[in-house]
Amino acid sequence: MYTMLIQLTNQKAAGLLHELEELHLIKVLQENITTAKPKLSEKYKGSISKEQGKELNEHIKQMRSEWNSI
């Protein structure tokens, strides 16, 4: 016996799985499992140093001021 994690791409597949469960061929352990996507701030936290971040912010400010002066 082994466990598989599957993603349904069609609602009809859920009905088929329930039919297989009624035939005692499979057992549905959990339904409606959603995976939480990490926040972008958490995903990229620590990817650049604080000094690089400050330099990037200054560069962005400069670019915005140049863009606004056009």
Write down the pLDDT at residue 5.
86
Rg, Å, the chain Cα set: 25
Q: Which two tokens stand for residue 62?
A: 């400069």
Contact 17, 26 (CB under 8 A): yes
As a whole number of angstroms, the distance between CA 55 and CA 69 comes to 21
Write down the pLDDT at residue 15.
92
As a whole number of angstroms, the distance between CA 45 and CA 9 comes to 32
Full-model pTM: 0.44
Please provide the size of the chain in residues: 70
As a whole number of angstroms, the distance between CA 53 and CA 39 comes to 18
Q: Stretch 6-11: mean pLDDT, rounded?
A: 87
Where residue 53 falls among pLDDT bands split at 50, 70, 90?
very high
Q: Stretch 2-16: mean pLDDT, rounded?
A: 89
